[in-house]
């Protein structure tokens, strides 16, 4: 009798070929690891049955402590106990100087003074970069996955906020590599949540994923249809979350207690923040909560924080998130009444005021039946399971999008967009450019990110040079610039001179990321200054054209002006040239430049015609007309 090999739904029919993979939600406040077992995705607990791993790391001279124990020790040992490290990922030392100037952004640890562009935190175990701290958290999650699954891991899908830029994504990938993880893919957190939500409910339609975590906020408008998860638009703030709620409450406490934060020790500051967090969480169930804090020198303060008072403290922060929601709807071309469901993701969505305000904005009750803490990790696990080939139904099709446009600088400091924001990724786009001057054998390529028309108003990502291509007259060279964005949202740029085949390329791995709310500010500015940007671009384009005309006439006159121009013609052309030069530097409207260029072209028209005729005669010298007709 033949033996039949039976497996659970969703599992390989050959258990020995089943590959183990995990999904990781690397969060600001808490982190989780999940996997698909017996066809069912779920988060993996530690030996004590706890699913959430506090994203807190304590460094001692002898050991590294991660999780709940480290969290308990952060009041007694604030300088060596690091939390909310996600907010520092991909940020340079210069970024952090401005980021943590205000009380609402104070952190109870010290930054080391180094020559490195990467910010590092002082600890007794040495200076630690954000990538190293995150790697220590990932090591614990990796070990939990291996112990739970009982085998070697093929890889992991790690989630990141949709609004993480290249530097922040690369920092996350570097941390995973440092932790010994094979990164199958970086997956946007709202997309991961939609994967878990879509498969759990079988829903199809347009869904808004409102993801408010401990330190980041994302809003994604997504179309769910027949296994395809397409992001229509995305928005958010990479520095807005529950931590900011805590800081707002802490400021209120210190104001009520009449205490200047600058007089607090790091331990007391951590204590105030801890009590603020506890009060915030308690007010999800109670109408008011008593706060009692023992400050130094027997100075204590006791007060009541009501739910209404909490609402007034966090409403400005919630309003910031709703502004992003409004923009995301507009970008997606979707009306509120087209939204099937609003899915709440992230621990900070447990705040009742958040749910209330989001419900009022979208004019529907948000979905809170899915565990907001675990849904992202579960979605990541589903995708990881598909990527290693365990999904019997085939891989999911996930279509994330770029949060900001990518392009290069062209003459005159103009930003030429090659890939527009909200373009689905992975994507590859190419565009041809040419040289500006005669005899040019090299070209500088400046890669920029942003929505504005001028490079000065965008963010510089990388610079590289294409050298060694043949000398041509201006405009004859063909240089193809290709932008490739992979599924992780990481960018590579290649420039190739088509005739010679000379190639240069760069992977965009900046050492620091955008400052707080910088992406949001970029989008605000692009809309607020849309009219001015259009005019500024038009003027800059005319200035570039004016420079070309001036250079061409100067070159021509220097070449044969003495032979082909009368004194009167030379003076007329010179007068028109001077007028164009003045307009080039002083004009505030494109029309002035156009008129000045038209005058110069009219003044030099006969001269240009004579030069062209002379050039044709020179080319035909010694030849018969019939030769050119063959």
**CA–CA distances in Å: residue 225 to residues 14, 202, 448:** 31, 9, 34
Three-state DSSP class for residue 470:
strand
Q: What is the pLDDT of residue 354?
A: 94
pLDDT band of 157, cuts 50, 70, 90: very high
Q: Residue 308 catalytic?
A: no
Please name the residues in contact with 97: beta carbons below 8 A apart, sequence gap of 6 or more. Answer: none
Q: Tell me what the pLDDT averaged over the chain comes to.
A: 80
Phi, psi of 555 (to 5 degrees): -65, -40
- The span from the CA of 409 to the CA of 445, in Å, is 7
- pLDDT greater than 70 at residue 139: yes
Assess contact for 157 and 387: CB atoms under 8 A. yes
| DSSP, res 367 | B
Nearest alpha carbon to residue 93 among 121, 131, 133, 57: 121
Phi, psi of 483 (to 5 degrees): -105, 130
DSSP 154: -
Residue appearing with tokens 């705040």: 351
Predicted local distance difference test score (pLDDT) of residue 212: 92
CB 66 within 8 A of CB 53: yes
**CB of 586 closer than 8 Å to CB of 580:** no
Q: Report the pLDDT averaged over residues 505-524.
A: 50
My answer on whether omega of the bond before 307 falls inside 30° of 0, hence cis, is no
Per-residue pLDDT tens digits for 343-352: 898 889 989 9
Question: Is the model more confident about 97 or about 180?
Answer: 180
Q: Which of 71, 77, 86, 139 is catalytic?
A: 86
> Cβ–Cβ contacts within 10 Å for residue 110, how many?
14
Residue 9 has pLDDT above 50, yes or no: no
Cα distance between residue 45 and residue 52, in whole Å: 8
Regarding the domain with residue range 242-313, which homologous superfamily does it belong to in the CATH classification?
ATPase, substrate binding domain, subdomain 4 (3.90.640.10)
Q: Are 355 and 316 in contact (CB under 8 A)?
A: no
Q: Which residue has the higher pLDDT, 228 or 26?
A: 26
Contact status, residue 112 vs residue 121, Cβ threshold 8 Å: yes
Using a 10 angstrom Cβ sphere, with 0-12 exposed, 13-18 middle and 19 or more buried, the burial of residue 9 is exposed
Let me know if 189 is a catalytic residue: yes
**DSSP state at residue 67:** S
- Determine the average pLDDT of the residues in 555-579: 82
Centre a 10 Å sphere on the Cβ of residue 304 and count the other Cβ atoms it contains: 11
pLDDT at 307 over 80: yes
Q: From CA 277, how far away is CA 577, in angstroms rounded?
A: 69
Nearest CA among 422, 463, 449 for reference residue 165: 449
CB 354 within 8 A of CB 240: no
pLDDT at 423: 79
pLDDT tens digits, 587-628 = 667 787 788 888 888 888 887 888 777 766 666 666 565 655
List the catalytic residue out of 165, 174, 211, 341. 211
Q: Considering the chain, what percentage of its residues have pLDDT values greater than 70?
A: 82
How far is residue 103's CA from residue 414's CA, in Å, rounded to a whole number? 38
pLDDT of residue 4: 39
State the average pLDDT over residues 37-52.
89
Q: Is the pLDDT of residue 162 over 70?
A: yes
Across 51-65, 502-516, 524-538, the highest mean pLDDT is recorded for: 51-65
CA distance linking residue 129 with residue 123, whole number of Å: 11
CB 181 within 8 A of CB 172: no
- What are the pLDDT digits (tens) for 442-481? 888 888 877 777 777 777 777 888 888 888 777 778 888 8
CB of 497 within 8 A of CB of 478? yes
SS3 sequence of 218-237: EEEEEEEECCEEEEEEEEEE
Which DSSP string do the residues of 525-590 spell out, in sequence order? HHHHTHHHHHHHHHHHHHHHHHHHHHHHHHHHHHHHHHHH--HHHHHHHHHHHHHHHHHHHH-SSH
First vs last Cα of the chain: how many Å apart?
85
Whole-number pLDDT of residue 245: 93
For residue 67, give the nearest of 78, 51, 87 by alpha carbon: 51
Does 117 have pLDDT greater than 70? no
Given 136, 165, 166, 189, which residue is catalytic? Answer: 189
The burial class, CB within 10 Å (0-12 / 13-18 / 19+), for 413 is middle
Query: What pLDDT was estimated at residue 35?
Result: 94
Catalytic residue among 25, 246, 400, 409: 25
Q: Please indicate whether residue 211 is annotated as part of the active site.
A: yes
Catalytic, 110? Answer no
**Cβ density class 585-596: b for 16+ within 10 Å, e for less:** eebeebebbeeb
Q: How confident is the model at residue 58 (pLDDT cuts 50, 70, 90)?
A: very high
Q: Which class in CATH covers the domain with range 402-528?
A: mainly beta
Count the neighbouring beta carbons within 10 Å of the beta carbon of residue 581: 15
pLDDT at residue 529 greater than cutoff 60 = no
Q: Is the pLDDT of residue 14 over 70?
A: no
Please provide the DSSP assignment of 12-60 as one string.
-SSGGG---EEEEE--SSEEEEEEEETTEEEEPP-TTS---EE-EEEE-
Most confident of 154-158, 406-410, 464-468: 154-158
Domains of the chain, by residue range, sit at: 15-241+314-400, 242-313, 402-528, 531-620
Quick one: pLDDT band at residue 3, thresholds 50, 70, 90? very low
pLDDT at position 426 is 78
Please report the DSSP string for 292-314 in residue order: EEE-STT-EEEEEEEHHHHHHHH
Please state, in angstroms and as integers, the Cα–Cα distance from residue 49 to each residue in 22, 148, 369, following that order: 18, 11, 22
pLDDT of residue 521: 53
Q: Which residue has the tokens 């948000």?
A: 366
pLDDT for position 574: 85
Q: Evaluate if residue 361 carries a pLDDT over 90.
A: yes
Which 8-state DSSP code applies to residue 83?
Answer: E
Average pLDDT over residues 41-70: 92
- Mean pLDDT throughout 182-198? 86
Check residue 588 and give its pLDDT: 63
Question: Looking at the domain that runs over 531-620, which CATH code has it been given?
Answer: 1.20.1270.10
In the chain, the percentage of residues whose pLDDT exceeds 90 is 22
Q: Is the pLDDT of residue 331 over 70?
A: yes
Q: Residue 390 above 70 pLDDT?
A: yes
Residue 429 β-bridge partners: 483
| CA atoms in the 13 A half-sphere facing the CB of 142 | 22
- Both tokens assigned to 367: 């979905």
More confident residue, 284 or 261: 284
- Characterise 150 by phi-psi region: left (phi > 0), alpha (psi -120 to 50), beta (else): left
What are 316's two structure tokens? Answer: 């400005």
CATH number of the 15-241+314-400 domain: 3.30.420.40
């Amino acid at each position: 009798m033949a033996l039949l090999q039976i497996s659970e739904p969703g599992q390989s029919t050959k258990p020995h070929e089943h590959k183990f993979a995990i999904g990781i939600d690397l969060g600001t406040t808490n982190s989780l690891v999940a996997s698909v077992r017996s066809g069912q995705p779920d988060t993996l607990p530690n030996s004590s049955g706890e699913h959430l791993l506090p994203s807190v790391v304590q460094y001692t001279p002898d050991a590294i402590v991660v999780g709940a124990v480290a969290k308990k020790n952060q009041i007694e040992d604030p300088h060596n106990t690091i939390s909310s490290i996600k907010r520092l990922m991909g940020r340079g030392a210069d970024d952090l100087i401005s980021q943590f100037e205000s009380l609402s952004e104070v952190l109870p640890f010290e930054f080391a003074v180094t020559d490195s562009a990467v910010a590092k935190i002082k600890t007794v175990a040495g200076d630690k970069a954000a990538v190293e701290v995150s790697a220590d958290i990932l090591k614990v999650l990796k070990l939990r996955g291996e112990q739970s699954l009982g085998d070697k891991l093929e890889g992991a899908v790690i989630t990141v906020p949709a609004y993480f830029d290249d530097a922040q994504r690369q920092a996350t990938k570097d941390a995973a590599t440092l932790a010994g993880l094979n990164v199958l893919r970086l997956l946007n957190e709202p997309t991961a949540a939609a994967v878990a939500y879509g498969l759990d409910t079988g829903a199809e339609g347009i869904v808004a994923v409102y993801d408010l975590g401990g330190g980041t906020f994302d809003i994604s408008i997504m179309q769910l249809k027949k296994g395809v998860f397409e992001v229509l638009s995305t928005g958010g703030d990479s520095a807005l979350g529950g931590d900011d709620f805590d800081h707002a409450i802490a400021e209120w406490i210190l104001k009520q207690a009449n205490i200047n934060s600058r007089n607090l020790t790091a331990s007391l500051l951590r204590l105030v923040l801890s009590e603020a967090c506890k009060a915030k969480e308690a007010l999800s169930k109670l109408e008011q909560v008593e706060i009692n804090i023992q400050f130094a020198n027997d100075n204590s303060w006791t007060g009541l924080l009501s739910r209404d008072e909490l609402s007034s403290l966090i409403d400005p922060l919630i309003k910031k998130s709703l502004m992003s929601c409004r923009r995301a709807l507009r970008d997606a071309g979707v009306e509120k009444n087209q939204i099937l469901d609003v899915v709440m993701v992230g621990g900070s969505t447990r705040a009742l005021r958040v749910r209330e305000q989001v419900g009022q904005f979208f004019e529907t009750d948000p979905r809170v039946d899915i565990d907001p803490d675990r849904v992202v990790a579960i979605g990541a696990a589903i995708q990881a399971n598909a990527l290693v080939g365990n999904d019997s139904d085939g891989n999911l099709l996930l279509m994330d999008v770029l949060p900001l446009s990518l392009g290069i600088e062209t003459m005159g400091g103009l930003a030429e967009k090659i890939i527009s924001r909200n373009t689905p990724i992975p994507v590859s786009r190419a565009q041809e450019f040419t040289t500006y001057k005669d005899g040019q054998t090299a070209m500088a390529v400046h890669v920029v990110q942003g929505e504005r028309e001028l490079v000065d108003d965008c963010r510089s990502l990388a610079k590289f040079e294409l050298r060694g291509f043949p000398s041509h007259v201006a405009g004859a060279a063909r240089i193809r610039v290709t932008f490739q964005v992979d599924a992780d949202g990481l960018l590579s740029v290649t420039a190739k001179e088509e005739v010679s085949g000379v190639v240069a390329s760069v992977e965009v791995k900046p050492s620091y990321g955008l400052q707080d709310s910088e992406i949001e500010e970029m989008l605000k500015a692009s809309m607020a200054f849309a009219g001015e940007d259009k005019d500024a671009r038009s003027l800059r384009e005319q200035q570039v054209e004016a420079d070309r005309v001036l250079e061409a006439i100067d070159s021509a006159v220097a070449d044969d002006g003495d032979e082909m121009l009368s004194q009167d013609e030379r003076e007329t052309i010179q007068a028109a040239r001077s007028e164009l030069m003045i307009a080039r530097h002083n004009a505030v409207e494109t029309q002035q430049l156009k008129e000045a260029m038209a005058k110069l072209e009219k003044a030099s028209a006969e001269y240009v015609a004579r030069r062209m005729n002379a050039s044709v005669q020179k080319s035909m010298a010694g030849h018969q007309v019939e030769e050119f007709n063959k």
